[in-house]
Amino acid sequence: MSRILVVGASGTVGSELSRLLAAQGETVLKATHRTPAAADQVHLDLVSHRGLPEALAGVDRAFLLAPPGHVDQEALLAPLIDAARVHGLQKLVLMSAMGANADDNAPLRRAERRLEASGLPYNIVRPNWFMQNFNTFWLHGIQTAGQIFLPVGAAKGSFIDARDIAAVAARLLTSDDLADRDFDLTGPQALDHHEVAAILSQASGRPIGFTDIAPEAMLQGLMGAGLPQDYAGFLVQILGAFKAGFAERTTDAVRHITGQPPRTLAQYAQDYRAIWAPA
């Protein structure tokens, strides 16, 4: 068994990944930028780079991601990748994003390339848009107006359940037969947001629709919610890539890696239906 550091352990993917690894008997060390409150937590601030040596001490393998809210992902991840190389970790798994490798100069792609050149065994996983966005980031519009508000038109996305991303990461962290490869992760089918809204409506018993909005309205809404302007602009930019059709492609990577098919959006909606159900 290994001692595995999970960056983003309190997040949507990291929390499920930590649970899966612990269930398999692995020793999980959960990185937190706050003061550790449990024996399995360790302080690590990717913005200030404080806590890097302590977080990696005695660690065999690590799961990495860039926390949301920051546009320059390379600045956050590069010191962690470099420190992992110095510590001689056996494996790094980096969660990137589908499409990140379309531009070699993009900050997230530069972080990927740094990992590829590190000399360490690695995997890069690039998931498509999370299904869980509908019960978190896009939830406010559903709760207040019964609508998903996004500037994506009729474009389709092969949304993926974060639990499947975690299952992929757990498999890659605990085995080496697929090392030094990258994988685009998607759900089993591409759906537009009218179709998504219909599935959520059926599962929850609450009428939910989709309203296409202007990118400018999305930008103002994100900034009004407290997001930094540069990060809000980044989100609007990648939503533009969704609208252009770049999120529609599907892959068989989840099944190939885990041996199980990815969850459908209908399965996700059933599991989370209480969140959208009428009060």
d(CA 206, CA 67): 32
Residue range(s) in the chain whose domain bears CATH number 3.40.50.720: 1-127, 128-160+185-279
Burial annotation 55-73 (CB, 10 A radius, 16+ → b, else e): bbeebbbbbbbbeeebbeb
Note the pLDDT tens digit of each residue in 128-164. Answer: 999 999 999 999 999 999 999 999 999 999 999 999 9
128-160+185-279, CATH topology level: Rossmann fold (3.40.50)
pLDDT at position 279: 77
Contacts with 15 (C-beta within 8 Å, 6 or more apart), sequence order: 9
Give the number of other Cβ atoms within 10 Å of residue 101's Cβ: 17
pLDDT at position 153: 98
Determine how β-strand 191-192 pairs with β-strand 156-157.
Answer: antiparallel
Q: How many residues does the chain have?
A: 279
Query: CATH assignment of 1-127?
Result: 3.40.50.720
Instruction: Supply the pTM of this predicted model.
Output: 0.97
pLDDT at position 231: 96
Q: Mean pLDDT, 10 residues at a time, over the chain (279 residues)?
A: 96 98 98 94 95 96 95 97 97 98 96 98 98 97 97 98 98 98 98 98 98 98 95 97 98 98 98 93
